[in-house]
Every structure is written in structure tokens, then in C-alpha cells.
Amino acid sequence: MAVAREDLLTQEIELNMGPQHPSTHGVYRALLTLDGEKVVKVENIIGYLHRGIEKLAEDRTYTQVIPYTDRLDYLAGMLNNLGYVQTVEKLMDIEVPERAEYLRIIMAELSRIASHMIMVASMALDVSGWTAWFPPFRERERILDLFEMTCGSRLTVSYMRIGGVAADIPPGFLPALEAFLDDLPQMIAEMNGLITGNEIFKARCQGVGKIDLETALAYGITGPNLRACGLPFDLRKARPYGIYDRFEFDIPTLNNGDSYDRFVIRLLEMEQSARIIRQAMAGLPGGPVMAKVPRVIKPPKGEVYHQIEGAKGILGFYLVSDGGNKPYRLHIHSPSFVNLGALPRIAEGGNIQDFVVNIASIDIVLGEVDR
């Protein structure tokens, strides 16, 4: 039976992916235009988790804003705390005690490792690497235990304060941290053995969602995703904040800018974070963990923009003060929001199966995207 050629032509269809979908990593929805299996167009639809944190901040005192920052990138609460309190400290010219600075580094880098662990675990899972879910989550549990031991909370930590940190570390913290760091290389080796060198994983990820450096910069991509394109740009080195200039570490880079490199770079960055933590443990001085700050935080009239290297890219806080006890305006520049804005550019032209890999590899967290 002869079939007319026009009967075989495909027609573009629109497919909703999300907001409830296991591989969108939160309440993110993509409206895909498909030609067969090929993704022709991607439209990001976000805002399902918009809580208006920037608006709420205008009605809270400076200290009361801290718990809201936990709920931005809830996988790396310490880093958000750090970015916010340093912003206020910059505007008020507060000097933080040495011990608090070191504790902040330890907590921030642990948070970064925890966030990267989620990324490698879930990306492996998204391409059906079930076993690989467990090693990172097993080890991440120990990071959360360390947080719980210190501040009573595992994710929404609110540990940093304007002028220092909420509490000193308890006895038993340092040995547990030491043991965790000793075991970390084994987890990384496990991941490398299970996933990084795995033929199926490579076939699914190599060359998928490639983006070159120039395009990445134009789209505002930062963090590990940018470093996977070959540029060793890390604010901890390029514009050190806190006491990052005292530590020795490398900035890993890879050159392909594809999903595979974005995965591998996270494993490499964990090693460097561990290096920083070991140095911070060795140099940890005694003394107080809070500076003497006024009871009511009232920064002078003015504005400040402070950016730190978050787990997912550059996290910026723009703060305008009118001299009162509440922020006049607080804007949060979240890396996931901007990185996600580049997803259509990354994913268009690929297959729908690759789309899942692309989302996982740019590592978004919706708490931060929607704020």
C-alpha cells in the first residue's frame, strides 16, 4: 500500500512539562514545542514558589530577614545567610571576630559540598543511575548532622548573624567534621566509579546542552556552569570576601561546556571545598563568635551591593537603607534565576530526553528562582 509522503510529515505539538514532574527539581514548568522528539522551543514558566521575599523584607527588621534567606536556596542555607549578613555588615562597617570568620568559612563550604552532592545525585538519578543516589545522600546526612549539632537546624539554619554567628560549635563537632572529610574522597571515588566513567552516563551527557564561553557570559551564567565552559572565574579568588584570601585552593575548570562537564566540575569543586575546610580547621582561633553590635540594627542611609560565590553561581544582595531599622529595598540576585533564563538557549535543538539532562545539569533550585 502506497502512503502519500505528506501523511508522514510530523506536526509540532506543545507539551507541558511540570510543574509537578520528578525531573524538574521543584515546581518549575516548561512549555515545550516539539517536532517529533526534537525540542524546537522552550518557554520557562516559573513563579509557583514566589513568596515575595523581597517585599516581605521591607517590613522586617534587618535581623528578622535572616530566616527568609534560608528559604532561597534551601539546599545551601548557610551560603545565603552569609551573603545577606555580609551585605549588612558592609553597609555598617562591622568587623566580625576572627573565630566567627573561620566558622563561617567552614559552614559555607560544607553547604557548598551539600548542594553539589544533591546535584550529582539527582543528575545521575535523572538518567536512571539509581544506585548513585545513595552515596551523596549518605554523606550529606553527616553535613546536616553537623549543622544540627551547631544550630539545631538541618536546612533552614539561620546560623549567621549580623556581626558573627549565632553559636559556637559544640564539643564533638571538629572530630565529626574530621571524620566526614576523611570519608569524602571515598564518596567521590564511588561516584566516579559508578557514574563519571560510566558508558551510558557519558552517552547521555557528553555533548548534550553545550554552551560556549562567550554565550554563557552573555546570558549571565555564573558558578560551576561557567567554569565548565573553561573560565576560571570564582569570586572567592577574583574578589575575595570575608577571609577567603587566606586559603589555598584551585579553581577547577573544564572546557566542553556540556552537561557532562557541568556534572564533573561539581565533584572537583567538592575536593577544593574540603581543602578549604581543612585549612580553616587548622587555623581556627579562639575568642568570641559575635562582634559587639547595637541591639537595634540601623545601618546608615545608603546603598550597597555585595556578591558572593554561591553554590549555584554568583549570589548578590542589593540593599538600600533609609537609615531606619528595616531595609528600604532588598533585591536578591539569584544565580538559579539567571541560569534558568539560559536554559531555552541550551536546550533548543536537542531531544526531549536531553532536556531532562539539561535541567539537571544547570542545577536550579526553585526557592531561589522564585524567591
Partner 1 sequence: MNGLIEELQRLFPGIQGEEGGDMPALVVPADQLLAVMKELKERHDFNFLADLTAVDFRDEKRIEMVYHLLAVPEARELRVKVNLNRQHPEVSSLTAIWPAADVQEREVYDLMGVIFQGHPNLKRILCPDDFTGHPLRKDFQLNAEEGRE
CB of 50 to partner 1, least distance (A): 4
The three three-digit cell numbers of residue 273, written as one number: 571545598
Please list, in sequence order, all residues whose beta carbon lies within 8 angstroms of the beta carbon of residue 257, skipping any fewer than 6 positions away.
210, 211, 212, 213, 216, 228, 229, 230
Q: Considering the complex, state which of residue 132 and residue 314 has its C-beta at the smaller distance from partner 1.
A: 314
CB of 241 to partner 1, least distance (A): 11
Whole-number minimum distance, CB 328 to partner 1, in Å? 8
Measured from the CB of residue 74, what is the shortest distance to partner 1 in angstroms? 17
Q: What whole-number distance in Å separates Cα of residue 56 and Cα of residue 54? A: 6
C-alpha cell at 295: 541591639
Residues in the chain: 371
Q: How far is the CB of 321 from partner 1 (least distance, A)?
A: 11
- Nearest to partner 1 of 159, 233 (CB atom): 233
Q: Is the peptide bond before 19 cis (omega within 30 degrees of 0)?
A: yes
Q: Which of 291, 310, 265, 258 is nearest to 161 (CA)?
A: 291
- The DSSP output letter for 315 is E
**Nearer to partner 1 (CB atom), residue 113 or residue 319:** 319
By CB under 8 A, name the binding residues for partner 1: 44, 46-47, 50, 52, 54-56, 59, 90-91, 217-220, 231-233, 235, 238-239, 302-307, 314, 316, 318, 320, 328-329, 331, 333, 337-338, 340-342, 345, 370-371
Angle at 184 between CA 180 and CA 185, to 5 degrees: 145
Closest separation in Å from C-beta 201 to partner 1: 30
- Nearer residue to partner 1 within complex by CB, 194 or 304: 304
CB-wise, 198 or 344, nearer to partner 1?
344
- 173-210 burial, b at 16+ Cβ within 10 Å, e below that, comes to beeebeebbeebeebbebbeebbbebeebeebbeebbb
CA angle 156–162–164, rounded 5-degree value: 85
User: What's the grid cell of residue 70?
Assistant: 534560608
Question: Looking at beta carbons only, is 142 or 306 nearer to partner 1?
Answer: 306
CB-nearer residue toward partner 1: 52 or 207: 52
Cβ at position 160, least distance to partner 1 in Å: 20
